[in-house]
Structure 1
Amino acid sequence: MLLRLILQSWRRQHRRRLLAVFTIFLAATLVSALLAVSIDIGDKMARELKTYGANILVEPASQSVLPELFGDAGHNPLAGQDFLDEKELPNIKDIFWRNNIVGFAPELNGLVRFGQHEIEIEGTFFDHAIVVPDEEDYRTGQKILSPYWQVSGAWPDDTQPQVLAGQALADQLGLQVDQPITLQAGSQRLTFTISGILRSGGAEDQRLLMPLRYAQQLLDLPGKIQRVRVSALTVPENALSRKARQDLDALTAQEYDLWYCTAYVSSIAHQLEDAISGSAVRPIWQVAASEGVVIEKIQLLLAVVTLVALVASAMGIASLMTSNLLERAREIGLMKALGAELWQIGLLFYAEAALSGLIGGLAGCVAGWGCAWLIGMTLFGNPLSFAWLVVPVVVLLSVLIALIGTWFPARQIARLYPVEVLYGR
């Protein structure tokens, strides 16, 4: 009987039913798209934020005990007294969170002579191939770590004696692209070609950057590096990560396991310290903290918009159902006169609303997936992954907002008296 009444109601009031379904459909589309975005936005935004530089610094243990009293590490007067071994660089991609390592670049700084001038050089990787487990043709370097660098000309080839000249240094010495320059340090003397002019907005603008192997040869430091900058995908800090940051030994065994197996910047730094002997690894907190704050604020904004969409659709359903109640007052009065109980009449209204929510929710999931795909392609250049968990969540929310929107009109049924409504009062 209930099913027959629902079908008759849909046939007689199909326009109003379709309007209710469309209202829920719009809300479900927005909610499913926002849920899909919020689930995948963390990784996507983290990868986008990686374009602003490294968030972990690896240094020799003896060097890291000095706070940054001297500003940039390259200007530390004690830098260079201790070194890391270049052979241990593949260990960076052999930690528990190796798949979260976006890239890394070693650095070796020193002073050399160019004619009558003493200039600073920096050896690093630009686009360097490294043999790492389970990854064929893995390449890393400043092209991945510092894509915001502006290079006029070409990036140096890691296998050729080529250099990038910092913009400020090039202006000072009159250096130009394709110009050969000869550098000398002690008894070592090498000739390079300037492949490009670099504008980074940092200390690199005052340096000559060259492939690491040639800097090691020029400075007579084979296989040595001073520091490694690492870019890793991380999750925002919470109470557990802050507790570990203050005192790792204060964690219980269970807390330690949870912290270690979560991609906090501090836990990744801890694993890197274990992987590279004689090193001290510290997060660059300015970068790491800003990434977490940005992602948290975006997710909070998405949650607020989702809540507003749910409230708006519930109010729309309430308005539709109230109008529906007024139109069907005589029908309800007749049902009461024939002995129908209030809960039976209410059940009819709730069943109609639930069916509208179910249809609108399912259609909204499909449309929401399309919106999420479009958002991913527009903002990030590749589609967002649509988690199937979103489907039952959105359908359940759609049914709930339809039922909530029906609650107030359903309460008005008790105030309808058969005699009044049947006589049109």
Structure 2
Amino acid sequence: FKANLNNGIDEVAVQGMGISIEQYNDVFATQNHVVEGSMFVPGELKAVIGVSLAELMDLKVNDYITLLVRTKEETFNTIDLEIAGLLYTPHPMINNGIVFVPLGIARQALNVENGISMMAVKIKKDKEINSTIDRINQIFQEKNMNINAYSWKESAKTVIAIRAAEDAETAVMLIIILSIGMIGIINNVILSALERTREIGMMKALGMREWEIVSVFMVEATGLGIFGGLAGCLLGFVGVWWITEIGYDLSYIGGDMSSYGVPIIDKLYGVWNFSSFVFIFFFGIVVALFSSIAPAYWAAHKEPVKAIYHR
């Protein structure tokens, strides 16, 4: 519900949220982000607000606030509350403009009796989401209730779209990086074969067949791919370990990014993706192997005399 928060001197528009604290804590992890004080308990006439909102209104734990609200009859009412705790979450809206109050107090002030505007249901398994939504909607229809249940994905389409764009961006960057690495590998293998044209001519003069000469270069290129892949994976392991365990401190670029609408605070952490390590390792081996065939075959196909004298 919409409200105006008054600290006795200043006033700011906020969004009030009446919650049944025991059920709310079972579904959401907001209580894990309390940095000062605590969440209120049933029966208390208290509120919980974000740190940014508290700093804006010069409030602290145990201070009193007044919420000016409009009832369903379009009349004004007030709620006087004591601040029980301060939150610092990854969600900028909670930090900046939401006031959590007991559900009963909100109902009484808004004069909505037992009404609620939203109910959140937590499901243990993702595969049960659709079936649970269908059962809930069926119950609503049987009771002739003009409300619907929907998954969080439907209410977070923007977030999902941003995530899809990020995945596409990551894929493009990975393709560019792999292309650069592939060109480097091919270049090294080709130069290695061309520089040893004279040696290839000697091998052929001593009776080695073309496929045997090509096999030598393929084995050599495969070995280079294996050692190069291991070295790259080792360096990547160190880098990913650092970003996942220590993280990148955002204080170097301004600290709290939530003020800019980016839900990241304190540090930026990465995640392990072992499938990428495996893919990159075998990708390097395959590229090195196949890129060695053409130049080795070209050199091995030359006449021994021409190969020895680079003709």
TM-score bracket for this pair, using the shorter chain length? 0.5 to 0.7
Q: Does 1:394 align with 2:280?
A: yes
Deviation of residue 281 (structure 1)? 1.2
Matched, 1:339 2:223: no
Q: Deviations over 1:17-62 (max 9, x none)?
A: xxxxxxxxxxxxxxxxxxxxxxxxxxxxxxxxxxxxxxxxxxxxxx
Query: Does 1:129 find its partner at 2:22?
Result: yes
**2:46 aligned residue (135, 157, 162):** 162
Report the number of matched residues: 258
Secondary structure of the corresponding residue to residue 385 of structure 1: coil
C-alpha change, 1:310 and 1:154, in structure 2 (3 Å) is: same
Please list, as runs of the form range in 1=range in 2, the aligned pairs for 1:361-372 lying within 5 A after superposition. 361-372=229-240
Query: TM-score, normalising length from structure 2?
Result: 0.60
Q: How does 1:365-380 map onto structure 2 within 5 Å?
A: 365-377=233-245, 378=247
Paired AA for residue 173 in structure 2: V
Q: How far is 1:302 from its partner?
A: 1.9
Aligned-pair RMSD on alpha carbons?
5.1
Find the aligned partners of 1:233 and 1:306 in 2 and give their Cα distance: 34
Q: In the aligned structure 2, how far is the partner of 1:209 from the partner of 1:381?
A: 28
- State the AA in 2 paired with 1:193: L
Q: CA deviation at 1:291?
A: 1.9
State the AA in 2 paired with 1:192.
D
Gaps of 5+ in 2: 4-13, 58-62, 249-266
After superposition, the Cα gap between the structure-2 partners of 1:335 and 1:286, relative to the gap in structure 1 and judged at 3 Å, is same
In the alignment, does 2:127 pair up with 1:261?
Answer: yes
Which residue is 2:264 aligned to?
none
Residue 351 of structure 1: how far off its partner (Å): 0.6
1:195 maps onto 2:61 in alignment? no
Structure 1 distance, partners of 2:186, 2:99, is 69
Out of 350, 353, 367, which is 2:221 matched to? 353
Q: Deviations over 1:336-387 (max 9, x none)?
A: 1122111110010011111111222233223323323334453665552343
**Distance verdict in 2 for CA 1:343–1:286, change over 3 Å:** same
Residue 410 of structure 1 deviates from its aligned partner by 2.0
Deviation at 1:402, TM superposition (A): 0.8
Letter in 1 for 2:46: Q
Task: Describe the superposition over 1:48-99 as per-residue Cα deviations: whole angstroms up to 9, x where unpaired.
Answer: xxxxxxxxxxxxxxxxxxxxxxxxxx69xxxxxxxxxxxxxxxxxxxxxxxx
Task: Work out whether 1:212 is the aligned partner of 2:103.
Answer: yes
Quick one: which amino acid aligns to residue 367 of structure 1? L
2:64 counterpart of 1:178: yes
Secondary structure, counterpart of 2:149 in structure 1: strand
Q: Distance in 2 between matches of 1:141 and 1:341?
A: 70
Give, in angstroms, the shift of residue 333 of structure 1.
Answer: 0.6
Q: Is the 8 A contact 1:125 1:158 kept in 2?
A: no
Does 2:115 correspond to 1:228? no
The SS at the match of 1:412 is helix
Aligned pairs (5 A) from 1:300-311: 300-311=168-179
Tell me, in whole angstroms, the C-alpha distance in 1 between the residues paired with 2:304 and 2:294. Answer: 20
SS at match of 2:292: helix
Residue from 397, 405, 411 that aligns with 2:297:
411
In structure 1, which of residues 375, 385, 392 is the aligned counterpart of residue 272 of structure 2?
A: 385
- What is the TM-score of this pair, normalised by structure 1? 0.46
**Structure 1 Cα separation of the partners of residues 232 and 136 of structure 2:** 45
Q: For residues 337 and 329 of structure 1, what CA distance do their matches in structure 2 show?
A: 12
Partner of 1:140: 28
Write the mapping of 1:22-101 to structure 2, written as runs, cut at 5 A.
Answer: none
In 2, Cα distance between equivalents of 1:230 and 1:312: 48
Q: List gaps (5 residues or longer) in structure 1.
A: 1-73, 76-108, 110-119, 132-136, 172-176, 235-259
Cα separation, partners in 2 of 1:271 and 1:320, compared to 1, 3 Å: farther
SS in 2 for 1:316: helix
Counterpart Cα distance in 2 of 1:121 and 1:304: 40
Identity of aligned residues (%): 21
Rate the CA distance shift 1:353–1:271 in 2: closer, same or farther, 3 A: farther
Matches of 1:386 and 1:208, distance apart in 2? 38
